[in-house]
Chain A
Amino acid sequence: MALTADGSEQKELTQTPLLKIWVPWMGCNLNRRRGSSVPQFCNSPTMIVMVGLPARGKTYISKKLTRYLNWIGVPTKMFNVGQYRREAVKIYKNFEFFKQDNEEAMNIRKACAAAALKDVTAYFTKEQGQVAVFDATNTTCERRAIILNFAKEKGYKVFFVESICEDPEIIAENIKQVKFGSPDYVDRDIEEAMEDFVQRIECYRASYTSIDDDKDRKLSYIKIFDVGSRYLVNQVQDHIQSRIVYYLMNIHVTPRSIYLTRHGESELNLLGRIGGDSGLSPRGQKYANALAIFIKSQNIKDLKVWTSHMKRTIQTAEALGVQYEQWKALNEIDAGVCEELTYEEIQRDFPSEFALRDQDKYRYRYPKGESYEDMVHRLEPVIMELERQENVLVICHQAIMRCLLAYFLDKPGDELPYLRCPLHTTLKLTPVAYGCKVEPFFLNIEAVNTHRERPVK
């Protein structure tokens, strides 16, 4: 028996049944780690603090960033101080609330910020949160100093994200897209709301101090100018901040649509077998043709088409008659020893594996195969490139499509593996306001159902 560095006997390793991770003994720490296929590199909790005048996209960025971080396995939560204010002051009258000299309002606003910070602490200490996005204007040095002191006391890292924009068109568009729908303006007509909001912005402008590149040179921050045409990045401290910067530098607000579809029905689909690399069935081929017609009818400008390296997605793309790119990262989940088996055969030959999978379908890894969690990590470059691109059609597979859809629709790990992605249906995703509009298009070609529901315990 070999000895470890401290002279104790080296135990034999065992593999955890669900995640298939080798651990020194069953109850050890490694077993309970999240994001098992890629190390998290997250030691102290991080506060991302937004900075900027109203209508500069802070909440848009906050929500998107939160969605992205959660998807890649970093528990993140957003704290919108405006929400706290709406709960404290049930009815919003008008912009006068935000006037610099409105002492009563100032006190309420300070209390709301403090309440939000308190919730941030609770999130980190009681809910195992890793990142908190503090979404407010934070436009004065004073307010930012309070946050920095708070973070210092608790041992949290701080990363500022400031959005600076003076393009009147962009600001007007922002106001239209998200402010009119706000609870604050529910009883106003558009002109009134616009007028009031513009005054609201003015209330902040006089006391707005941008992060100072000289005085604040020790702080960690990114300044985003004009919706991403320019960035200033200062003192990136660690891995997660580096990933955040990379993400923020790749997103854009140009209107576009993303089309997600699976390959046409395959031979193995017909046989009820999972995985493999079979070709299209006759109905699958019909779908490919129907897809070509559908895509043409959508009249999409500069459409990019992506497929996996597997025969069935490539055959589907071929019917479109346009150029397409193949990504290995879009290959279907590797079912390891269960490749090309039917569910009945898996139940027969690997009953415990089958049961484990139903217990935690997101983290369950097939023996010699992958888990949904593993797939999310290999899809991250695909998501990053989807963010950069404009109109894209992704022809992929069931598990892959579930992962991508979960990213766009902000679905958590326990819902992701049960999202419905039927064959012969294209989903058109269009970013709108803070989220994503989904339009399903069933192209009227019959296909088998490959969806297995979460079994009732």
Chain B
Amino acid sequence: MMRGCSSSRTKLTQNQDRTVCMTNCPTLIVTVGLPARGKTYISKKLTRYLNWIDVPTREFNVGQYRREFVKIYKSFEFFRPDNEEGLSIRRQCASAALNDVRQYLTEEGGQVAVFDATNTTRERRETIIQFAEQNGFKVFFVESVCEDPDVIQENIVQVKLESPDYTNCNTEEAVKDFMMRIQCYENSYETLDEVLDRDLSYIKIMDVGQRFLVNRVLDHIQSRIVYYLMNIHITPRSIYLCRHGESELNVKGRIGGDSGLTPRGKEFAKKLTQFIQKQDISDLKVWTSQMKRTIQTAEALGVPYEQWKVLNEIDAGVCEEMMYEEIQESYSLEFALRDQDKYRYRYPKGESYEDLVQRLEPVIMELERQENVLVICHQAVMRCLLAYFLDKTAVELPYLKCPLHTVLKLTPVAYGCKVESICLNVEAVNTHRERPENVDVSRMSEEALLTVPAHQ
């Protein structure tokens, strides 16, 4: 996306024609598919990705609305097509969700809303399309089609058993009920049709990404969404994130630069090698930046590694290789501005965290494609990557704790990511600077330097 856009959102002109919409109008992504086809998995992941690349996105799960309405889930009978009461409640829930969508996109600055429900009938989808037209939203359907019983079974085990609907059932009961639930939808399921739905914009994902059908991609954001959906997979794997070993400039309390490892840093590289070997990871890919300290760390592993320039640490511009104390002395205004908005603040002749996220996007895309990967990078870079996996906001991101000599093992599980923090027991300086209380430009030096970690 274009950062620092000076163009504002333009208004839609009401028009009968379905295709008229200014490029900046909000987008409604609508999932389609039987239960246990990965719709919520996709919704959550897509929402996380879009928010990370700075496109305000929110998901609206109709099942959630139903759970709030019908406090207690009894059985699949609720979903029977002849259950008038059930149908009425479900329609109301969908309406309530659409109402919230409208509010999010028109009043709360949302750019994309993900409407997560089965939406398996043409009738239901037509209702949504009309809603979108009335409000000037573009619609993009994401249908997940899968008939592989193993995949469906795995889905049910991973996410349905934990659902509030089944807290009081044992596994066998829950699976049985859920299968009946799926059946309730099957008869009335109308998949997106190449001919009947030829004017709609959609992607049909078949068999967990073996095959895709893409129709009428209208704009940049839809194109990015399609590219993302085509790159994600669900093969179990782990991503290991760590920083380079402690560097010469680290111990001096200086930021940036391109220095080598200290003896303790080299010790970490050794310990990292032992750790990786013990983990016994199949086909591990190792990535580093193009800075000396990450490469030195990787060299100790004795395996091939790939260097990415975009994994280089944030460019601190005029502040490169300075201590925080020196920055306060020479650039106290800049220092205060940074504390005020650490995510968007750009060093003079340097970068911001926001810039970092943009340059890291190809890394994230490739991480999605890959399986087991170890990324040896830097503090600010690691914070950005971590924020993507753990769905942290721009406010939290620059303050995520990424200490030296600690490996984070991320394993996707259910709808999120399990994090294991492994400290490799080699002493290192602390490089984490908390946000000080006083961020005012008129603050005293001492107040600015209160949270600077100790160094030589």
B308, A38: Cβ atoms closer than 8 Å: yes
A249, B223: Cβ atoms closer than 8 Å: yes
Contact among B198, B213, B220, B359 for A231, CB-based, below 8 A: B213
B309, A10: Cβ atoms closer than 8 Å: no
- The answer to whether the Cβ of B50 comes within 8 Å of any Cβ in the partner chain is no
Complex-state Cα separation, A5 to B301, whole angstroms: 6
B residues within 8 A CB of A115?
Answer: none
- The answer to whether the Cβ of B3 comes within 8 Å of any Cβ in the partner chain is yes
Q: Which of B139-147, B173-181, B289-297, B423-431 contacts A (4 or more CB under 8 A)?
A: B289-297
Q: Nearest CB to that of A373 among chain B residues?
A: B309
Contact with A along B295-314 (1 / 0, CB 8 A): 11001111100111110000
A326, B299: Cβ atoms closer than 8 Å: no
Q: A38-B362, A250-B223 are in contact. Are A236 and B309 (CB under 8 A)?
A: no
Q: A22-B292, A233-B212, A326-B5 are in contact. Are A4 and B308 (CB under 8 A)?
A: no
B369, A239: Cβ atoms closer than 8 Å: yes
Closest chain B CB from A38 CB (angstroms): 6
Closest chain B CB from A296 CB (angstroms): 19
Contact with B along A423-446 (1 / 0, CB 8 A): 000000000000000000000000
B227, A246: Cβ atoms closer than 8 Å: yes
A242, B310: Cβ atoms closer than 8 Å: no
- The answer to whether the Cβ of A309 comes within 8 Å of any Cβ in the partner chain is yes
Complex-state Cα separation, A21 to B303, whole angstroms: 18
Complex-state Cα separation, A325 to B216, whole angstroms: 25
Tier of interface size on chain B: 35 or more
- The answer to whether the Cβ of A422 comes within 8 Å of any Cβ in the partner chain is no
- Majority SS of interface residues in chain B? mixed
Question: Which B103-162 residues sit within 8 Å CB-CB of chain A?
Answer: none
B residues within 8 A CB of A368?
Answer: 258, 320
B residues within 8 A CB of A91?
Answer: none
Complex-state Cα separation, A409 to B106, whole angstroms: 43
- The answer to whether the Cβ of A323 comes within 8 Å of any Cβ in the partner chain is yes
Question: Which A362-387 residues sit within 8 Å CB-CB of chain B?
Answer: 368, 374, 377-378, 385
B292, A242: Cβ atoms closer than 8 Å: no
Closest chain A CB from B243 CB (angstroms): 16
Number of interface residues of A (CB under 8 A): 51
- The answer to whether the Cβ of B355 comes within 8 Å of any Cβ in the partner chain is yes
Complex-state Cα separation, A326 to B2, whole angstroms: 7
A residues within 8 A CB of B309?
Answer: 36-38, 374, 377
Question: Which B195-220 residues sit within 8 Å CB-CB of chain A?
Answer: 198, 210-217, 219-220
Question: Which A1-19 residues sit within 8 Å CB-CB of chain B?
Answer: 2-6, 10, 12-13, 15
- The answer to whether the Cβ of A117 comes within 8 Å of any Cβ in the partner chain is no
- The answer to whether the Cβ of A230 comes within 8 Å of any Cβ in the partner chain is yes
Closest chain B CB from A413 CB (angstroms): 17
Q: A39-B306, A232-B212 are in contact. Are A24 and B369 (CB under 8 A)?
A: no
A4, B302: Cβ atoms closer than 8 Å: yes
Closest chain B CB from A236 CB (angstroms): 7
A residues within 8 A CB of B80?
Answer: none
- The answer to whether the Cβ of A235 comes within 8 Å of any Cβ in the partner chain is yes
Pull 29 A–B residue pairs with CB atoms less than 8 Å apart, ordered by A.
A4-B299, A4-B301, A5-B273, A12-B260, A22-B295, A36-B290, A36-B307, A38-B362, A39-B308, A213-B211, A230-B214, A231-B212, A231-B213, A231-B214, A231-B215, A232-B213, A233-B211, A233-B230, A249-B217, A249-B223, A250-B223, A324-B6, A325-B5, A325-B6, A326-B3, A326-B4, A327-B3, A339-B349, A374-B309
**Other A-B pairs, 19, CB within 8 Å; known A38-B362, A230-B215:** A2-B267, A3-B270, A4-B273, A5-B300, A5-B303, A13-B260, A15-B292, A22-B292, A30-B307, A36-B290, A37-B290, A38-B309, A38-B310, A230-B198, A233-B213, A239-B366, A239-B369, A327-B2, A374-B309
B interface residues (Cβ-Cβ under 8 A, vs A)? 2-7, 194, 198, 210-217, 219-220, 223, 226-227, 230-231, 258, 260, 263, 266-267, 269-270, 273, 277, 287, 290-292, 295-296, 299-303, 306-310, 320, 349, 355, 358-359, 362, 366, 369
